[in-house]
Structure 1
Amino acid sequence: MILFLGTRPGKTEIKRLSGVRCPFCNQTGTLTVSRTSNYFHLFWVKLFKISTSKLAECSHCKRVYYQNEFTPEMENAIGID
């Protein structure tokens, strides 16, 4: 019997943070957050979520912020998961 199992990323959700300033260039409304979840799958069917990663990018200075670099202002605008 052959089993096809593994991990695979789900759809990426993108949210624009209006009213939040970039800590690097101090521009307001230029941050975009993308969230991707990784799932365990069996025969290409998602069974459960393994992890979630979040990144924020400033469209003005192109600085990327990882989840551990988020400011409290960014976290409040994203919402708690």
Structure 2
Amino acid sequence: MILFFGTKKGKENSNKMPNVVCGHCAQKGTVTLYSQETLAHVFWLPITKIGTNHYAECSHCKRVYYKNDFSADMLKVINQK
């Protein structure tokens, strides 16, 4: 019997962070949080979520922040979700 098992990226979600100030250009309300789940699947059917990747981007200066670069305000928004 052949068993197909693997991982797959889920749909990417975006949420504006209106009260967060960009640490690079100091603009308020221009940072958007993007999150994408990684799913385990068997026979191409998603079974469970294994993890979530987060990053944020400023729409003014185009600076990208990865999870280890997040400010305290950004982390607070993630923990509220």
Give TM-score, length-normalised by structure 1: 0.91
The 5-angstrom pairing of residues 1-81 of structure 1 reads 1-80=1-80
On the 8 A contact 1:19/1:29 being kept in 2, the answer is yes
AA matched with 2:70:
F
Q: Distance in 2 between matches of 1:80 and 1:39?
A: 22
Structure 2: stretches of 5+ with no match in the other structure: none
**Count of aligned pairs:** 81
Q: Distance in 2 between matches of 1:50 and 1:19?
A: 30
**Alignment RMSD:** 1.3
AA matched with 1:14:
S
Q: Distance in 2 between matches of 1:80 and 1:69?
A: 18
Runs in 1 of length 4+ with deviation above 6 angstroms?
none
Q: Distance in 1 between matches of 2:68 and 2:34?
A: 14
Identity of aligned residues (%): 44
Instruction: Compute the displacement of 1:78 (Å).
Output: 3.0
Q: Distance in 1 between matches of 2:40 and 2:74?
A: 29
AA matched with 2:33:
V
